[in-house]
């Protein structure tokens, strides 16, 4: 079993190019919101991967330029471009993985929940289209508020009669990526060998890094646990403040989204890969909850649960639950009223 990392370990350099050394599956991957701050660099990373044979770029504006640009890269993935709702069904037909970074980002002073009014409708419409055109595809939802947009997509799939909870994921990989970075920096660890499980949801207090379960095993003072937990929970806001009105994390999110997509694709071709993601869950009282998941050919193969929590983590989980339950209820209600 391996932890998903974005690496070129399975590729060989030949004449400066990247070639696959293993049998390459024919995976068709779509990015909805492909012309955006996340969509463009994530599409770039996907185009470089031997795991992707067809790269579908969809947005409501500016797709043609992004697709023309990316299509000149000397890798095998074939790029196609679709723009506007009239072309959405064609874009999604035959897709194996659909990544959704469509929607507005935060500005300073906003919470992720403040994006609900705009992004809920966008995710509703895109998931309705995916449920129709490629019901068996794996769905990776990046659009915020993830705590609510995943329940929205799930309700849409239920209404369409095609719901499979093992195929719908809220992409919380960026929380793990940040936690790995911050903990490795704080403790002088090799970041490429550091793994911090992050459970719960993807907003403020609902993001719960499990510092008691860090690999390699490492000890923290109480003050370190408290300050590092807060830094990981507030890392998105740190970027929003630094960008000062120009949006939220895009480059680190593109990395995290590509890492998650590659883990899904490796799982689909039979490798046993573990990633944390926000999925339908019965691990806690919350109907959706992020935990480490074993990925496989059918998507979520096994929910690995949250293990034994420290007293601090138990207290933080209790603090997170009201917000998480409220976000989930809001998403479910919206989907059922629209």
Residues at the site binding ligand NAD, with contacts judged by CB under 6 A: 32-33, 35-39, 59-61, 101-106, 115, 119, 122, 125-126, 142-144, 146, 171, 174, 202, 247-250, 253
Mapped to the 3 state alphabet, what secondary structure does 9-47 carry? CCEEEECCEEEECCCCCCCEEEEECCCCCCHHHHHHHHH
Q: Is 142 annotated as a binding residue?
A: yes
Quick check: 39 binds ligand LMR (CB under 6 A)?
no
Catalytic residue at 202?
yes
- Residue of 167, 202, 266, 316 marked catalytic: 202
* Segment near ligand LMR (CB under 6 A); pick from 48-56, 151-159, 231-239, 307-315: 231-239
Q: Is residue 31 within the footprint of ligand LMR (CB under 6 A)? A: no
Using CB under 6 A, which residues numbered 151 to 180 contact ligand LMR?
174
Distance CA 14, CA 29 (A): 25
**Rounded Cα–Cα distance for residues 94 and 86 (Å):** 17
Task: Tell me how far, at minimum, the Cβ of 235 lies from ligand LMR, in Å.
Answer: 6
Residue-wise burial string across 194-203, b where 16 or more C-beta atoms lie within 10 A, e elsewhere: bbbbbbbbbb
Torsion of CA 16, 17, 22, 24, to 10 degrees: 180
Burial class (CB in 10 A: 0-12, 13-18, 19+), 125: middle
**Residues near ligand LMR (CB under 6 A), total:** 12
Closest CB to ligand NAD: residue number: 36
Q: Is 48 in the site for ligand LMR (CB under 6 A)?
A: no
Q: Is residue 246 packed enough to be buried (19+ CB in 10 Å), middle (13-18) or exposed (0-12)?
A: exposed
What does the chain come to in residues? 338
DSSP-derived 3-state class of residue 196: coil
- Cross-strand partners of 20: 11
**Which of 28, 47, 112, 259 forms a contact with ligand LMR (CB under 6 A)?**
112
SS3 274: strand
Q: How far is the CB of 111 from ligand LMR (least distance, A)?
A: 8
Q: Which of 201, 209, 236, 299 binds ligand LMR (CB under 6 A)?
A: 236
Q: Does 290 bind ligand LMR (CB under 6 A)?
A: no
Residues catalogued as catalytic: 202
Binding site for ligand LMR (CB under 6 A): 105-106, 112, 144, 174, 202, 236-237, 239-240, 248-249
Binding residues: 33-39, 59, 106, 112, 119, 142-144, 178, 253
């Amino acid at each position: 079993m391996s932890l998903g990392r974005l690496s070129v370990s399975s590729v060989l350099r030949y004449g400066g190019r990247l070639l696959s050394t293993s049998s390459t599956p024919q995976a068709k991957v779509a990015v909805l919101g492909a012309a955006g701050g996340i969509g463009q660099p994530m599409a770039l990373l996907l185009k470089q991967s031997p795991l992707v044979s067809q790269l579908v770029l969809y947005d409501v504006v500016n797709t043609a330029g992004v697709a023309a640009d990316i299509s000149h890269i000397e890798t095998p993935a074939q790029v196609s471009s679709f723009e506007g709702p009239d072309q959405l069904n064609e874009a999604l037909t035959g897709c194996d993985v659909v990544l959704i970074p469509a929607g507005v980002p935060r500005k300073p002073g906003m919470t992720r929940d403040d994006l609900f009014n705009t992004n809920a409708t966008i995710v509703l419409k895109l998931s309705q289209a995916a449920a129709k055109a490629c019901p068996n595809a794996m769905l990776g939802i990046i659009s915020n508020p993830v705590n609510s947009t995943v329940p929205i997509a799930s309700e849409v799939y239920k209404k369409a009669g095609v719901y499979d909870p093992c195929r719908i994921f809220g992409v919380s990989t960026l929380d793990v990526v940040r936690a790995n970075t911050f903990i490795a920096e704080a403790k002088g660890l090799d970041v490429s060998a550091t793994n911090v499980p992050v459970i719960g949801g993807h907003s403020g207090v609902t993001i719960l890094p499990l510092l008691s379960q860090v690999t390699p095993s490492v000890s923290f003072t109480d003050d370190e646990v408290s300050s590092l937990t807060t830094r990981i929970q507030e890392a998105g806001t740190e970027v929003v403040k630094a960008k000062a009105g120009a949006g939220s994390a895009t480059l680190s999110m593109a990395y995290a989204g590509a890492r998650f997509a590659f883990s899904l694709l490796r799982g689909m071709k039979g490798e046993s890969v573990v990633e944390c993601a926000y999925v339908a869950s019965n691990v806690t009282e919350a109907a959706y909850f992020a935990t480490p998941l074993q990925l496989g050919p059918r998507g979520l193969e096994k929910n690995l649960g949250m293990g034994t929590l420290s007293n601090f983590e138990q207290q933080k989980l209790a603090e997170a639950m009201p917000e998480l339950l409220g976000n989930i209820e809001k998403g479910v209600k919206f989907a059922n009223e629209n």
